[in-house]
Amino acid sequence: MTVLVTGAAGFIGYHLSQRLLERGTPVLGFDNLNPYYDPALKRARLAELRATAERTGTALQWMEASLEDPAAVEAAFAAHKPAKVVNLAAQAGVRYSIENPQAYIQANVVGFSHLLEACRAHGCGHLVYASSSSVYGGNTRIPFSEHDSVDHPVSLYAATKKANELMAHSYSHLHGIPITGLRFFTVYGPWGRPDMALFLFTKAILEGRPIQVFNNGQMQRDFTYIDDAIESVIRVLDKPAVPNPDFDPANPDPATSWAPHRLFNIGNASPTLLMDYIEAIEGALGITAIKQFMPMQPGDLHATSADTSALEDWISFRPNTPVREGVARFVAWYRQFYGV
């Protein structure tokens, strides 16, 4: 019962693959190790996965390839016949999508279409894919609910994630594939992405450099600790989407469907002020940051906050790790990994 994990050397993909291997689920890792951020960190994650596979005696197969390559995707399905798929491969980053839009179209839209087509051709017991809290875009009603419309993205990254949700629904409707989309809210923790605030801030503070605080610190994020995110993914993966028997086409619910397609927020449901987040980093490091206050960046959201009631109803779990605890775990990992 192999699970195909795309983006397996990425932050969330690495942690998910670890959990699957530890519970004895064979994993087919699929990643192109692209240089958006340091591939050395991705290779270090891969080395950890191989060590876990050896220690647990659980099969780990690996393909270094891109979803943009339809032949590689076809080969992965034909050779390994995954029972379920978790798509975490994507070109990430809101701001980079403004500078390099074609990278997002190719990876997030074209690549996802190849994966959907392979799931159709070879059969798939359940496809779980990463969407993003960015899809809420211009919405101002807080907390963000899956039951609200998300038709006003403010970045191309968000638009590609919304496109993924629409594409997934069409394949679920046409081909009866159980598909679940997960809108992740600012996931953080050990082995995290170097382009995200926690990593950037920690590195700069330790090096005595200023940190850039956007929108003059007047921002809120629903920071979600990685272990909570992975627990959510595992439980969702184990419970394939089903049609909503109460779905009313005359009054459609964006979160559900007559097709076996569902959407869930993966968030801590406890938004944190950016300045409080920085204070948690300072506390864990024992160093006060030098702050450079900056204007709001194009494509950013002023605040994110997840309504996770649907997730809790579906899997009897909701993320709940306090930010100070999660930040302290990241700082401990960072110091150990980089020897600082």
| pLDDT at res. 216 | 84
CA distances from 168 to 131, 161, 248 (A): 11, 11, 20
| pLDDT at res. 217 | 86
| Residue 37 a catalytic site member | no
| pLDDT at res. 213 | 93
- 220 by DSSP, 3-state: which? strand
Task: Give residue-wise pLDDT tens across range 272-323.
Answer: 999 999 999 999 999 999 999 988 888 777 889 999 999 999 999 999 999 9
| pLDDT at res. 247 | 97
Least confident of 108-122, 181-195, 289-303: 289-303
Q: Residue 263 falls within a domain, yes or no? A: yes
Q: Residue 175 falls within a domain, yes or no? A: yes
Indicate which CATH number applies to the domain containing 251.
Answer: 3.40.50.720
Q: Which residues contact 264 (CB under 8 A, 6 or more apart)?
A: 146, 180, 181, 182, 183, 232, 236, 255, 308, 310, 311, 314
Q: Pick 160 or 92 by higher pLDDT.
A: 160
Q: Residue 17 falls within a domain, yes or no? A: yes
Nearest in space to 144 (alpha carbons), one of 41, 224, 243, 77: 224
Q: Residue 215 falls within a domain, yes or no? A: no
The domain in which residue 91 lies consists of 3-188+225-269+305-321
Least confident of 84-88, 93-97, 212-216, 260-264: 93-97
- 187 by DSSP, 3-state: which? strand
pLDDT above 80: residue 205: yes
Nearest in space to 101 (alpha carbons), one of 178, 21, 155: 155
User: Residues for the chain: how many in total?
Assistant: 340
Give the mean pLDDT of the chain: 96
* Percent of the chain surpassing pLDDT 90: 90
pTM of the prediction?
0.96
Give the span between the Cα atoms of 105 and 167, in whole angstroms: 13
Quick one: which H or E segment has residue 62? strand 60-64
Give the residue-averaged pLDDT of 142-161.
95
Q: Residue 193 falls within a domain, yes or no? A: no
The owner of tokens 């909701």 is 318
Give the residue-averaged pLDDT of 154-166.
95
Sequential DSSP letters for 106-157: IIIIIHHHHHHHHHHHH--S-EEEEEEGGGGTT--SSSB-TTS-----SSHH
Task: Give residue-wise pLDDT tens across range 7-41.
Answer: 999 999 999 999 999 999 999 999 999 998 999 99
Domain count along the chain? 1
Q: Residue 329 falls within a domain, yes or no? A: no
**Which residues are bridge partners to 226 per DSSP?**
none
Quick one: which H or E segment has residue 63? strand 60-64
pLDDT above 90: residue 99: no
Q: Residue 158 falls within a domain, yes or no? A: yes
Q: Residue 212 falls within a domain, yes or no? A: no
| pLDDT at res. 303 | 86
**Which residues are bridge partners to 273 per DSSP?**
220
| pLDDT at res. 95 | 78
Please identify which of the residues 36, 104, 129, 157 carries the catalytic annotation. Answer: 157
Task: Give residue-wise pLDDT tens across range 308-319.
Answer: 999 999 999 999
Give the residue-averaged pLDDT of 114-120.
98
Least confident of 87-96, 132-141, 185-194, 260-269: 87-96
